[in-house]
């Protein structure tokens, strides 16, 4: 199966300067070469630097004081916006009381146990057990290890393959990166896909994936049929899990058609394959519900990965959750070995847990999931008004996450030959005081903080519309 994305290469050579510029109070953009930094997820040949100096609410400010509406909540994560005093106080109080202790050897602390118990009660995973990490990528790495441990423990060591999807994004570590399907995250890195037993099935994007004349229902039937055929070819007894973001993020905010997940769940149940929901982006109100699983009618996930909005990005923390019976199956083998041999120095960091506890408290107290459902509906309605723009092939999303697909030809949906127009549109947004994200080579992603107001949504859409007009005028 071939992704429709252009497999463009990136020049990863970095010029090394012989002298380091003196740091002074001059604006950052006067130093175009910061050779000490290897920029993450960046064209290293043209990093286009922007120094973000401070933030407040849904806005950030550069080193010259220019204001930007943060239209992607940082990286899908700053749900409560910037400079939230309650979170700052929670961090300070925990640092004063206990700045750090690890969880190795059965050591615990109150913020960590409280957070685990709260999460276990929130999620739709049965009797969920929680393992803490530091990022969505390491949460997904942990899940791969837990799958192997569990199936070895119950005497099914051959059951270790994992089905991911085309256009998937599940992180960038070696293992989680092997579940990711975006060309820029794969090319040159040589992920050990075969060694890890990673299988790929169709992406559920009707706009880009349907055959001529095919309805949404027929599209769902076809790609779910392909999923079942993949399982039969590989052998269900060799497949541990199917993983999916309920609504994707970095791969273009793909919202599957109605009925897709119900059919997927039925197939997985039929062949005794676990459903692993990657909620790193969609968790905690982003889709207008508590979790993306709720919004997309995924009723019985066996595993969930959480991060980002768990702490509103005020501290790195993630959580890998599995069914309670899976955990119980691993207890005796860990005793035989001597320890459960997996964990990070900062697993369940007390400061991160304290902040996350406060974040969850604010979500409940301020009814932010309900608020996100209302403002999300308004955002989707306002963005839908841009669907007639000459550059837009599709507007899609749910709740407070959306994407606009840019096309070279509106009638046929033909994409641009390169990402130049998309990048120009994102840059025009930035010049107009709005930060959006160019994703998957074709789309502008929007994902503002949950605290955004209707008036700020109007501001976001106005700046986005103006930037699209300016981009269209340029390419003429």
Structural domains of the chain ordered from first start: 28-83+369-475 (3.90.1150.10), 85-365 (3.40.640.10)
Contacts (Cβ under 8 Å, ≥6 apart) of 237:
156, 158, 159
Q: What pLDDT, on a 0 to 100 scale, did the predictor assign at position 46?
A: 80
Q: What pLDDT, on a 0 to 100 scale, did the predictor assign at position 47?
A: 73
Strands (E), 293-430: 303-306, 318-322, 392-398, 401-406
Q: How far apart are CA 372 and CA 376, in angstroms?
A: 5
Q: What pLDDT, on a 0 to 100 scale, did the predictor assign at position 476?
A: 81
Crossing angle between the packed helical segments 368-384 and 350-365, to the nearest 10 degrees: 70
Q: How far apart are CA 182 and CA 441, in angstroms?
A: 10
Q: In this structure, which long-range contacts are made by residues 372-375, counting pairs with CB atoms below 8 Å and at least 24 apart in sequence?
A: 372/285, 372/286, 372/288, 372/399, 372/400, 372/450, 373/288, 373/289, 373/399, 375/400, 375/450, 375/452, 375/453, 375/454, 375/457
- Quickly list DSSP for 374-386: HHHHHHHHHHHTT
Q: How far apart are CA 397 and CA 389, in angstroms?
A: 17
Q: How far apart are CA 337 and CA 150, in angstroms?
A: 14
Q: What pLDDT, on a 0 to 100 scale, did the predictor assign at position 1?
A: 38
Integer-rounded Cα radius of gyration of the chain: 22
Instruction: Kindly list the averaged pLDDT for each block of 10 residues, start to end, along the chain of length 476.
Output: 35 32 41 73 83 97 97 98 98 98 97 98 98 98 98 98 98 98 94 97 98 98 98 98 98 98 98 98 98 97 98 98 98 97 98 98 98 98 98 98 98 95 97 97 97 98 98 94
For residue 99, give both structure tokens. 């700045």
Q: What pLDDT, on a 0 to 100 scale, did the predictor assign at position 45?
A: 85
H helices of 59-186, in order, are: 73-76, 85-97, 110-122, 136-153, 174-179, 183-186
Q: How far apart are CA 425 and CA 173, in angstroms?
A: 30
Q: How far apart are CA 342 and CA 133, in angstroms?
A: 11
Q: Global pTM? A: 0.92
Q: What pLDDT, on a 0 to 100 scale, did the predictor assign at position 283?
A: 98
For residue 338, give both structure tokens. 């001597």
Q: What pLDDT, on a 0 to 100 scale, did the predictor assign at position 35?
A: 67
Helix (H) or strand (E) holding 162: strand 161-165
């Amino acid at each position: 199966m071939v992704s429709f994305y252009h497999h463009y290469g990136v020049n990863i050579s970095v010029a090394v300067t012989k002298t380091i510029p003196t740091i002074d109070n001059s604006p950052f953009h006067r130093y175009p070469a910061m050779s000490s930094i290897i920029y993450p997820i960046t064209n290293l040949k043209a990093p286009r630097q922007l120094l973000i100096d401070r933030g407040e609410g849904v806005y950030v400010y550069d080193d010259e004081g220019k204001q930007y509406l943060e239209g992607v909540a940082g990286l899908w994560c700053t749900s409560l916006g910037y400079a939230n005093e309650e979170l700052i106080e929670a961090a300070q109080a925990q640092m004063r009381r206990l700045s750090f202790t690890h969880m190795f050897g059965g050591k615990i602390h109150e913020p960590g146990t409280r957070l685990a118990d709260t999460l276990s009660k929130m999620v739709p995973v049965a009797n969920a057990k929680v393992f803490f990490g530091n990022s969505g990528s390491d949460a997904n790495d942990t899940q791969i290890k837990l799958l192997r441990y569990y199936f070895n423990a119950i005497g099914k060591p051959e059951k270790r393959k994992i089905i991911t999807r085309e256009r998937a994004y599940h992180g960038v570590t070696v293992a989680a990166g092997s579940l990711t399907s975006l060309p820029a995250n794969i090319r040159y890195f040589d992920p050990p896909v075969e060694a890890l037993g990673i299988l790929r099935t169709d992406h559920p994007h009707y706009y880009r994936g349907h055959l001529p004349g095919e309805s949404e229902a027929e599209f769902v039937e076809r790609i779910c049929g392909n999923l079942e055929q993949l399982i039969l070819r590989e052998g269900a007894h060799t497949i541990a899990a199917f993983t999916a973001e309920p609504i994707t993020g970095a791969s273009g905010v793909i919202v599957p058609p109605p009925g897709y997940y119900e059919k997927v769940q039925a197939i997985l149940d039929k062949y005794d394959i676990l459903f692993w929901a990657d909620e790193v982006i969609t968790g905690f109100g982003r889709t207008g519900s508590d979790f993306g699983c709720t919004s997309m009618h995924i009723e019985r996930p066996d595993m969930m990965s959480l991060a980002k909005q768990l702490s509103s990005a005020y501290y790195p923390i993630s959580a890998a959750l599995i069914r309670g019976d899976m955990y119980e199956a691993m207890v005796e083998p860990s005793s035989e070995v001597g320890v459960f041999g997996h964990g990070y120095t900062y697993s369940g960091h007390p400061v991160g847990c304290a902040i996350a506890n406060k974040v969850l408290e604010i979500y409940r107290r301020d009814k932010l999931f309900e608020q996100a459902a209302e403002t999300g509906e308004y955002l989707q309605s306002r963005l839908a008004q841009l669907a007639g723009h000459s550059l837009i092939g599709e507007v899609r999303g749910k709740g407070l996450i959306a994407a606009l697909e840019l096309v070279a030809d509106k009638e046929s949906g033909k994409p641009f030959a390169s990402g130049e127009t998309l990048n120009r549109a994102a840059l025009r947004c930035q010049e107009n005081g709005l930060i959006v994200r160019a994703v998957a080579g074709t789309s502008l992603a929007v994902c503002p903080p949950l605290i955004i107001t209707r008036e700020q949504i109007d501001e976001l859409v106005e700046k986005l519309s103006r930037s699209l007009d300016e981009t269209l005028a340029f390419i003429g």
